[in-house]
Amino acid sequence: QMGKAVGLATHGEDLTWLPPRLSADQRWQILRALALVEPDQHALAAVLESTQQALRQRSGLVIITPDVEGSWLDSVALLLRRGVVPTVLLLDQRAFGGDGDANRTVASLESMDVTHYLIAPDLLDRPEARPGQIGQWRKTSRGRWEPQFHPRELIWRALT
């Protein structure tokens, strides 16, 4: 929507590579690939190293991983030196019932000045994480559909 090409690389049971393209079809292909990804034993560091040639300077990269051991942080540092702008969504293993501790990895990401988010189950319990119909819809005289929200149904949150 912002006029930027988007691609996807996954390192699940099946490797997926969708080169950056600018199209609505590409967004649907990315969503489908994300929905179908299954975890596997591919090392995140190896995947990051193999995809770095495809990433141009000032490319944005979103890394979604439960790997709190941080063996992939050196690969992120290489990407930073190449001018890639990473954002890490780190799944908090301990919060999901695992035994990994994300504190050291989070501290490393902070020291590298990498934008990161620690994802815990409570994030997924928020109403905005559960899409669905809120309010009523009505058809206008011009045949368009408009939402009719009732203020009591809206959940407001502070912008940070």
Domain ranges of the chain: 43-126
pTM, full prediction: 0.70
Query: Hey, what are 27's tokens?
Result: 């967004």
Q: Residue 37 has what pLDDT? A: 84
The number of residues making up the chain comes to 160
In the CATH scheme, what architecture does the domain 43-126 have?
3-Layer(aba) Sandwich (3.40)
- Per-residue tens of pLDDT for the chain, all 160 residues: 567 788 888 877 788 888 888 888 888 888 888 888 887 777 888 888 888 887 888 888 889 888 999 899 999 999 999 999 999 999 988 888 888 889 999 999 999 999 999 998 887 777 666 665 556 677 788 877 777 765 555 566 556 5
Exposed e or buried b for every residue in 130-160, given b needs 16+ CB within 10 A? eeeeeeeeeeeeeeeeeeeeeeeeeeeeeee
Number of neighbours of residue 116 by Cβ within 10 angstroms: 20
